[in-house]
Structure 1
Amino acid sequence: MGSQAPPMPIIYLIRHGEKPPKLPNGQDPDGLSTQGVERSHALTQVFGSSSPYNIGYIIAQHPKDDGKEDRPYLTVKPLADSLKPDVEFYHKVHRDDAAGVAQAAQAFHGPGNILVCWEHHRLQGIAQAIGVQDAPVYPEDRFDVIWTIESPFDRISHITSEHCPGLDDAHASDP
């Protein structure tokens, strides 16, 4: 009797936490807003060790040295810290490298599943690089949506809410 291959990991894609209001010059400031920080801490419960998500690998967009593009990293850092030493936290792929995200995900062989946190305008391209056909555009006005991609990674099998208390109450009736 041969040994059975471990199950393919499930990939979950999420957007970074809420960002602060624009600066007077119209630019986005670095970091997370108060709500974004709240979300980052709530994710330790949503995706934590007692959750059904069984996260074994976290991939976040690489923050620039000057602090730019740090929201995805800051969003999942508390979760990664709470799951140490059992979870690898990989944050070496740059914002526009969807193929690099797909390669990092494909290189993970468990145990557990994969959580990817990224800038929302890039999540459609990441899903496509993973293999999803007809990936939708991530909602502009939502920070709580989880895309679930299961083997053979050709479609988003579930779209759900993180249901972070106090942040996602407007979507309480969503799956």
Structure 2
Amino acid sequence: MTQGSGPNRRAVLVGLALAAPVVAAGCGGSHDKSSASKSPAAHDSGHDTTIMIIRHGEKPGSGDPGFDEAGKQDKKSLTRRGWERSHALPRLFLPDSGAPASGSPSGASGTPSASASANGGGAPTGSGSALLPRPATIYAAADQGPHAGAHRMRQTVTPLGEALHLQVNTDFPEGNEKGLAAAALAATAPVLICWEHSRIPPIVEALGASQATGVPKVWPDRFDLVWLLTRRSGTWTFRSMPQHLLPGDAS
């Protein structure tokens, strides 16, 4: 028994020695899994980004009717001035561009013509802000489907999308500002969003930018602003910038 116990003891020790690396590897794996769980969410990597938000162009009210693309009166569409803003918008991001893309309503009284659109409805040429980056992604609220809203958001940015050769994304309806914000954070920047004004603050909140210095609690009663939100190294900054596209636009 004494002679046999020696080899048996050595076998046990060898077995323990071989098992040790496996146990250590298992502990290491648990540590890695814990670290991975602390990584940023997949939909928002926390990378630097620039997101711009605008309100749609002018809407019907006080006897000023809206017109659809065919020139037919439509309360869900832009007014004459709204269409002028829509066709002037490319100058805000492409100050050296020529006449904006086609698509204004025609053939009806009170709707802007292509020549008027080319001159921004009388706005000084070269107006707008030279500090705004050229959008790489454009969103507008859905105006088709069961949750569709008005057409004004899509109409406002369609000429800009055509000028930039970008498809306007209308996947998100009003009320799904969280989904929109998540998509915007993951999209190729700079991002431009055109939305209904009362729902713009929820977009800013969903982006995680509501605590940036200077962010208003509500969108002002204006159609001629751009909210510029920039995230650098995890910190958001905010600027509200006038469009200066049409006569009467405020400073």
Please state if 1:57 is matched with 2:145: no
Partner residue, 1:138:
219
Match of 2:174 in 1: 95
Contact 2:141 2:173 in 1 (8 A): yes
The residue number in structure 1 matching 2:161 is 80
State the aligned residue count. Answer: 155
Counterpart in the other structure of 2:94: 48
In structure 1, the residue corresponding to 2:138 is in which secondary structure? strand
Using the size of structure 1 for normalisation, the TM-score is 0.78
Number of the residue aligned with 2:52: 12
Cα root mean square deviation, aligned: 2.4
Q: Which whole-Å CA distance do the structure 2 matches of 1:143 and 1:77 have between them?
A: 17
Q: Deviations over 1:75-103 (max 9, x none)?
A: 0011001111xx34211100111111112
Q: What's the CA shift string for 1:21-64, capped at 9, x where partnerless?
A: 268xxxx9110000000000010111237564221010110113
Partner of residue 160, structure 1: 241
More strand by share: 1
Unaligned runs of 5+ in 2: 1-46, 64-73, 97-129
1:108 is matched by which residue type in structure 2? A
The answer to whether residue 174 in structure 2 is matched with residue 108 in structure 1 is no
**Cα pair distance change 1:54/1:167, threshold 3 Å:** same
Deviation larger for 127-136 or 33-42: 127-136
Task: Identify the residue that residue 117 of structure 1 maps to in structure 2.
Answer: 194
Q: Secondary structure at the match of 1:80?
A: helix
Higher RCO (C-alpha under 8 Å, 6+ residues apart) = 1
Identity of aligned residues (%): 32
SS class of match (1:146)? strand
TM-score, with length taken from structure 2: 0.56
CA displacement, residues 103-133 of structure 1 (integer Å, 9 cap, x when unaligned): 22022134xx111000000000001111122
Kindly state the Cα deviation for residue 71 of structure 1 after the two structures are TM-superposed. Answer: 0.6
Offset, 1:145: 1.2
